Amino acid sequence: MSEHAPGIIRKLWPGEVQVFRDHLLRLDQETRRSRFGSAVSDDFITHYSERVFRSGAVVHGCFVEGVLRAAAELYPFSEVLATEGEAAFSVEQAYQNLGLGTVLMGRTVLTARNRGIRTLHMNCLARNRRMQQIARKFDADLTVESDEVIAQLKAPYPTLVSMAREATEEAQGVVGAMFQAQWSAGQRMLNLMLPAAA
């Protein structure tokens, strides 16, 4: 399974509510329906985003040229020693089918594993073949209930190696974010210093 993604993958920080909200607001109607199970309004998304980080969720994001284009939310079912959790994924339409969902699923499974979460639930519409295809890559059991598919994925027990992997991947994401910030600042400086094209 490829770990290459066209962007920087890292956990979102609690101060990035607006970044997360803006990503969800950019989702087109069909993607919103697949993500939330029904059509949702901009107001719903705004309130939802504000609640996510207060709920104890761990959110991974994929930033392409500094903009959050895909996210994976992991919700432990309990605040203390959760053994089960739920995951949800959103990739903006122009960035779908590029492998971002698969990479984010890998990060989410690793994070769940390292927190002792062994069963990960994912709800998706029965016609959501893409999500089911990703779940299959991670050996999930798929159960069809009316027009919903519930994927149950068993994460292995955490080990020192799995914990070190999460820490390394996170450090890579943070370093990537720093380079991105420096590059963007450099671009802004250049734009200020260079005369506008005639």
Ligand X SMILES: CC(C)(COP(=O)(O)OP(=O)(O)OC[C@H]1O[C@@H](n2cnc3c(N)ncnc32)[C@H](O)[C@@H]1OP(=O)(O)O)[C@@H](O)C(=O)NCCC(=O)NCCS
Q: How far is the CB of 35 from ligand X (least distance, A)?
A: 4
Q: Which is nearer to ligand X, 46 or 123 (CB)?
A: 123
CA distances (Å), origin 172, targets 89, 121, 144, 164: 22, 28, 38, 12
Residue whose Cβ sits closest to ligand X: 101
d(CA 159, CA 125): 34
The residue ranges that bind ligand X (CB under 6 A) are 31, 34-35, 88-91, 96-102, 124, 128-131, 133-134
Q: How far is the CB of 24 from ligand X (least distance, A)?
A: 11
Q: How far is the CB of 7 from ligand X (least distance, A)?
A: 11
Q: How far is the CB of 64 from ligand X (least distance, A)?
A: 12
**What would you report as the CA-atom Rg of the chain, rounded to the nearest whole angstrom?**
18
* Antiparallel, parallel or unpaired: β 58-64 and 148-154: unpaired
Q: Which is nearer to ligand X, 26 or 118 (CB)?
A: 26
Residue reference for tokens 């069909």: 30
Q: How far apart are the first and last CA of the chain?
A: 48
Q: Which is nearer to ligand X, 30 or 187 (CB)?
A: 30
d(CA 70, CA 78): 25
Query: How remote is the C-alpha of 39 from its chain's centroid?
Result: 20
Contacts of 155 (CB under 8 A, 6+ apart): 109, 112, 113, 117, 118, 119, 120
Q: Which is nearer to ligand X, 99 or 173 (CB)?
A: 99
Q: Which is nearer to ligand X, 27 or 192 (CB)?
A: 27
